Amino acid sequence: MPPRVRDVVLVLAALALCPAAALLIGDDPVAPLARARATADAEAALGLHVEPALHAWVASHGALDLAARGFYLAAHVPVTAWALIWTACLRPDVFSRVRDVLVATQVLIVVLWVLFPTAPPWLVADTGVVPDGLVHAVQSPFAAIPSGHVAFALIAGVTFARHGDRRWLRGFGRLYPPLAVLVTVVTANHLLADAAAAAFVVGAAWALTGGVRVRRPRRTARPREADALG
């Protein structure tokens, strides 16, 4: 199998774990809702439960709410794919590590989803009424902790911030992860605790895969002038 085909298959296989997790988690909302409420209570005890106020403010501004929801849906996979394709084409020295971190992150996230399924804030607010639809056969509605959106945003953001060949690209890499956290919160898809869990998982995946080790091609030493002259 050609290396690039193998890379694509590996990434797609990791993404295919989402519908497998949805099947394993099932559709019983009782435990996921209880876990979500416990997480919100823990945040409140620490004085960090600011998400409902942020969501309510954004929801009251229709255009802003629509933009946030559009960003949440549209940016996740394309920006991650961009990071992979960009490194594969322009920074092959770091591509394999970025790929490995992404795959390891996805595996760890899916394991945690299956072991500790947790409802998102919007589902808690809707008193646990889970709407039917094909999307929930692909992605479980009880996959809030850790946040896959934030995890992938961290990987793409760090990749661009560290290795971007343009100032605007490095700037985008620095801004994209906090923007992803903000959007997941104001759309009531995640709590701040979900984002913190995502950061922990990415860090674990980074460590397990050895981190992104940059291997630049060696430069051939220039011959000394005396040697060149014979």
User: Per-residue confidence of the chain (230 residues) as pLDDT tens digits?
Assistant: 788 899 999 999 999 999 999 999 998 999 999 999 999 999 999 999 999 999 999 999 999 999 999 999 999 999 999 999 999 999 999 999 999 999 999 999 999 999 999 999 999 887 656 666 666 778 899 999 999 999 999 999 999 999 999 999 999 999 999 999 999 999 999 999 999 999 999 999 999 998 545 444 444 444 443 343 33
Q: What is the reported pLDDT for 135?
A: 64
C-alpha distance from residue 158 to each of 7, 19, 55 (Å)? 20, 27, 27
Which residue, 108, 134, 117, is CA-closest to 24? 117
Interacting residues of 19 by C-beta distance below 8 A, sequence separation 6+: 137, 138, 139
Question: What global pTM score does this model have?
Answer: 0.87
Distance CA 193, CA 116 (A): 14
Distance CA 160, CA 63 (A): 29
Q: Domains of the chain: which residue ranges?
A: 3-127+134-214
CA atoms 11, 100, 92, 151: torsion sign: positive
Q: What is the reported pLDDT for 221?
A: 44
